[in-house]
Amino acid sequence: MPTPIATAVPVTHTGILGLGVYRPRRVVPNAEIVDAIDSSDEWIRTRSGIAARHWAEPDETIVGMSVAAARDALTAAGLDAAEVDVVVLATSSQMVLGPSAGAVVATELGMHDTAAYDVSAGCAGFCYALADAANLVRSGQARNVLVIGVERLSDLLDTTDRSCAFIFADGAGAVVVGAAEQEGIGPVAWGSDGSRTSAIKQDKDFQEYFAEVAAAEASGGTSVRPYIRMNGTEVFRWAVTFLEKACRDALDRAGVAASDLDAFVPHQANIRITDALIRTLGLPDTVAVARDIIETGNTSAASIPMAMEQLIRSGGANPGDTALLLGFGAGLAYAGQVVHLPPIA
């Protein structure tokens, strides 16, 4: 007979205990970028809803922004870094393959022997990481989990690319997930469609780039670094035709009706996608909708925690309110869950 193996002691309920964000100092209005892409402030606002975005200065690194957001999240949760067992960091713009940014952030926060890893799921990354965290706590594998979404997408932008130079931005958001008296994080509805990878992607992989560099060095020619590219029309069509089902799946799994929601916090991809989802879901006017994209742009894995914080800080929603989160983007991947909004620092 096999030797018995003990299991962790599960907890009944999980919740988001605290939320913090970091917004880079530099604000870039549309007027600052329109000449390079032969566009206008009016066109950008009409097509995306964006009026400005934050781009990080050299000293505002992935690790530094993450640490700042994490400290505020811990403060809001009333916890010390020593009480965190796992760090899960979602990003698509960490410029090294290893070590994980999560491990470095944990050390910068003064944690010791803390499990840490990164998640790469594009703009859905925060909701993927949140699902991981909830399951770790629920199963008894961790007491508290620090979840971070962070990006420096300005590092990956071709500032002359009219399709996406005005879209992407930088920032960080963090939450602490732990045990709660009642359920505060619903079951995740998630998935991906790898047949649509070309919709949002790095335009060349590093093997291709290194070969290009070697050829340029041999011939005296030039090479072009990799950039992020996006087919906005394809992403928009996929979003407005498919994401209603993702939202309804998340609501059904949580046992919550759209009319029960206090707030809707979608990934801040495009204000027209947000408006389309409001219509297809039939959300009542009483539901507060996050529109952080107007002043923050699309911060990919950081957008949902940053939009949550802005919605709460502005008074549009309150801690404890019931909200639907929906992340979606490169992959194409999506993830959504119903949560109770957390306190902020």
Q: Which residues are catalytic?
A: 123, 267, 298
Q: Which residue in 324, 323, 312, 299 sits closest to 125, CA to CA?
A: 299
β-bridge partners, 322? 340
Largest CA distance in the chain: 74
117: part of which helix (H) or strand (E)?
strand 115-119
106: part of which helix (H) or strand (E)?
helix 101-108
| C-beta separation of 168 from 157 below 8 A | yes
DSSP string, 142-156: -SEEEEEEEEEGGGG
Give 152's contacts (C-beta < 8 A, 6+ positions apart). 56, 60, 61, 62, 65, 93, 95, 170
| C-beta separation of 144 from 342 below 8 A | no
3-state class of 213 per DSSP?
helix
| C-beta separation of 264 from 283 below 8 A | yes
Residue 84, CB-side half-sphere exposure with 13 Å CA sphere: 36
Give 284's contacts (C-beta < 8 A, 6+ positions apart). 258, 259
Spatial distance between the Cα atoms of 140 and 178, rounded to a whole number of angstroms:
10
Spatial distance between the Cα atoms of 79 and 88, rounded to a whole number of angstroms:
17
Q: Which residue in 234, 235, 256 sits closest to 300, CA to CA?
A: 235
